[in-house]
Amino acid sequence: MIRASLAALALSCSFTAAAVAAQEPKDPYLWLEDIEGKKALDWVKKENAETDKLILDRPGFEADRKRARTILDDDRQIADPGEVMGDMITNFWRDAANPRGLWRQSPLDAYLAGKPVWTTLIDVDALGKTEKQSWVWHGADCLAPDYKRCLVSLSPGGTDADIVREWDRTTKSFVKDGFILPQAKSSVTWESADTLLVATDYGKDSMTASGYPRIVKQWQRGTPLASATIVAEGEPEDVGMSVSALVDGDKRWPVISRNKTFYTSEYRLPSSDFSTYHSTIIPETGDIRAVIEGQAIVFLNEDFGAGFPAGSLISLSIADMAAGGQVAIIPVMAPTKAQAIENVAASKTILWVKALDDVEGKLFALRRDQPNGRWSQKEVPVTANATMTIAGTVDDRDIAFVTAETMLTPPTLYAVTEGKAPQAVQSLPATFDASDMSVEKRFATSKDGTKIPYFLARKKGATGPVPALVHAYGGFRAAQTPGYLTGQPYRAGPLGLYWVEDGNAYVLANIRGGGEYGPAWHQAALREKRQNSFDDLHAVAEDLVATGVSAKGKIAISGRSNGGVLVGAAMTQRPDLYGAVISGSPIKDMRRYNKMLAGASWVAEYGDPDVPADWAFLSKYSPYQNIRKGVKYPPIFLYLSTKDDRVHPGHARKYAARLKEFGNSVYYHEYIEGGHSVGADHAEDAVRAAMLHAFLLRELVEKK
């Protein structure tokens, strides 16, 4: 009886969804979802040409492009620490001579002394020329403890899908007859020197609805991939299966993750003979952040019983979980109300935690006391009122690499040891004169009374309203932190710098949906609560008006990816407030997003448009569906990549076409390469920075 009732309910819902869909007008621009179709690409070429005509010959464009390229290619950049392999440390480096990059290594001691001696391991540009492929680096996974064999991932053109090939670090060459995975959205890790765990596209029915692997296999060296043994399977409606490894000294623990939704995963550890993988007590909403002294460090996104609140860290014995026995749950760190744990990394005996404190960085060193297993912590001073990031650790020496920067202070990389003053490994010289600039942290009040922090950069002593550029994201737990202006906003190079130098205001808004204040900050804009993030952005813009920083119609908003939903909804809701919009690799069509490329994986964030109750709230803000004839919307610059295999280019294409149909101003630029990040190299990034600057000047400064 119960099953019959549920079946009837499901059938009723399906009819309701079908009825709702039938009532909606037919999408006249569905043909623009044909990514490589001739008609669609002809449209793209026409739109690109129209934008080029408006922008490329403008006075100042070429100077902006050249300066951006110089900044991006500057040799005086931080050589970010990669993996420490014994007495060596790796780094991936891009500059003017190496636009696709060099993977290289230096003796660790030389690097720590600030005088690295680099040896090239893989020259991606040279490899691409030799193999006649437009390779984009996706990283390398080298097997400890000798780090001789590595799994190198390379993407043709910058797509998420890549090719994985085995490489020998001692001979600096790909291994003949070694492991090779064809192009796919794969997840792979070493189980042992001669066995891999592989989640990839195995053919029919092996991928989820989100386009990620559904099956994990053990692949033995010297055997064809087709003969690999299945060790785990997910369901078609899952986001996908992935594999990784927890490395604790000489001990390696392979992990299989069944990612049921974007925010829930079932973690599986191997039996002693690696023949089976079984579930653990790690909560499905938890994230494994590090491993130290046999303990898995887990971040809690939801409460995990009394004493283990959301936003805190706990530790669990890996050996006990692998054995299937009773596992003690030990609290590690619980942040204050104003804090959010963001970065976690482990060295040999210290767990390093970077927290946000009202969106400013603090570093903590935690130790596990013996014999009771309890954790103690102390704050480690680095730089006050700065954005900090844990860039890596040196295990045996208990060193953490930490970068620190502000909007006006260039990054410095520190080697941090508990109880000692941080040692500057590399400090970048200033790229611009900041002596006449200022940055302040402010708070706007959103519609429901919530205080929303934002960072404001402008000229000192500025009076009177000036054009403003507000960048925000507001989703997927991703906190937005202020960085040096040559890289703000994200993927637009020195656009923020150009804007402040012009005498205008640049703002980074910390709206809800991100992780600035932990899980609750994200959950406050989840699914049916999405309007909160739009209200937060409106509140920041209105605060700029109320305090005389800017004026209605002189405020530009910028957002990428999920930020494309944000600025799309914002401009349709408040066309009176905003004067220009920048939208990169954007999501726009919330009616069909779950049917486009990786969109199905985001249902936990947005809701399912095929469920009538969810479409009821999605339809209220979906940018594409909420464009209205007769309404004048602010000019928008849409930039994206044809090769983006995460966010479908059809979102931006259809949005542009609908806006233009109704007589609105659209600037459109679709790059062929670059994937979701758009820029495949600095040359494209520099062009984009100059184009966006020209767009803002044209629409916010020159138009009266």
Tell me whether residue 399 is in a domain.
Answer: no
Considering the domain boundaries, does residue 132 fall inside one? no
Q: What is the structure's pLDDT at 305? A: 86
Please say if the pLDDT value at position 9 is more than 60: no
527 pLDDT band (50/70/90 cuts)? very high
Q: Which of 367-381, 584-598, 636-650 has the lowest mean pLDDT?
A: 367-381
Residue 20: pLDDT band (50, 70, 90) is very low
Residue 43 to residues 518, 624, 656: CA-CA distances in angstroms?
Answer: 43, 18, 11
Q: Is the pLDDT of residue 15 over 60?
A: no
Cα angle: 120, vertex 98, 680; to 5 degrees: 120
Over 90: is that where the pLDDT of 414 sits?
yes
Residue 447 banded pLDDT, cuts 50, 70, 90: very high
**Per-residue pLDDT, 272:** 84
Is residue 194 domain-resident? no
Sheet of 387-394, strands arranged across: 387-394, 399-405, 412-417, 423-427
- What pLDDT score was predicted for residue 5? 34
Q: Which residues, 6 or more positions from 150, have their beta carbon under 8 angstroms from its beta carbon?
A: 140, 141, 142, 143, 166, 167, 168, 169
pLDDT of residue 18 exceeding 60, the answer is no
Return the pLDDT at 274. Answer: 86
For residue 12, the model assigns a pLDDT of: 34
Euclidean distance between CA atoms 474 and 450, whole angstroms: 14
List pLDDT tens digits, range 486-524: 988 876 789 999 999 999 999 999 999 999 999 999 999
pLDDT in tens, 210-220: 999 999 999 99
**pLDDT of residue 167 exceeding 60:** yes
The DSSP result for 191-210, as a single string, is EETTEEEEE---STT-B-TT
Q: How many domains does the chain have?
A: 1
| pLDDT (0 to 100) of residue 463 | 87
Domain presence at residue 575? yes
532 within a domain of the structure (yes/no): yes
What is the pTM for the complete model shown?
0.92
Residues belonging to the active site: 561, 676
Cβ atoms within 10 Å, residue 20: 16
Residue 533 burial class via C-beta count within 10 angstroms: exposed 0-12, middle 13-18, buried 19 and up: buried
Which pLDDT belongs to residue 4?
32
Token pair belonging to 662: 């109704």
Q: Where is average pLDDT lowest: 151-155, 177-181, 321-325, 474-478?
A: 321-325
CATH number (domain holding residue 494): 3.40.50.1820
Q: For residues 432-462, b (16+ Cβ closer than 10 Å) or e, as one string? A: bebeebebeebebebeeebebbbbbbbbeeb
Where b means 16+ CB within 10 Å and e means fewer, 84-111 reads: bbeebbbbbbbeeebbbbbbbbbbbeeb
| Side-chain half-sphere CA neighbours of 80 within 13 A | 13
pLDDT tens column, 93-151: 999 899 999 999 999 999 999 999 999 999 999 999 999 999 999 999 999 999 999 99
Q: Which two tokens stand for residue 239?
A: 């986001």
Query: Does 531 score more than 70 pLDDT?
Result: yes
pLDDT, position 647: 97
Using a 10 angstrom Cβ sphere, with 0-12 exposed, 13-18 middle and 19 or more buried, the burial of residue 192 is middle
- State pLDDT tens for residues 183-195: 999 999 999 999 9
Share of the chain above pLDDT 70, in %: 96
Q: Is residue 515 part of a domain?
A: yes
- In this prediction, residue 533 carries a pLDDT of 98
Read off the pLDDT band of 21 (50, 70, 90): very low
The pLDDT of residue 1 = 29
Is a pLDDT exceeding 60 seen at residue 465? yes
Residue 614 confidence (pLDDT)? 98
Q: Is 602 contained in some domain?
A: yes
Specify the 3-state DSSP secondary structure of 162.
Answer: strand
- In which domain, by residue range, is 490 found? 464-686
pLDDT over 60 at 629, yes or no: yes
Average pLDDT estimate for 553-561: 98
The torsion angles phi and psi of 632, rounded to 5 degrees, stand at -90, 115
| Reported confidence tier of residue 680, pLDDT bands at 50, 70, 90 | low
Average pLDDT over residues 42-48: 98
Structure tokens at 22: 């039938």
Q: Is 644 left (phi over 0), alpha (psi -120 to 50) or beta?
A: beta
Taking phi over 0 as left and psi of -120 to 50 as alpha, with beta for the rest, 575 belongs to alpha
Q: How confident is the model at residue 10 (pLDDT cuts 50, 70, 90)?
A: very low
Candidates 639, 564, 652, 557; CA nearest to 602 is 564
Position 370 scores a pLDDT of 74
Pseudo-torsion of CA 484, 501, 550, 478, nearest 10°?
-20
Residue 551 belongs to a domain: yes
User: How high is the mean pLDDT of the chain?
Assistant: 94
Whether the per-residue pLDDT at 595 is higher than 50: the answer is yes
pLDDT at 14: 36
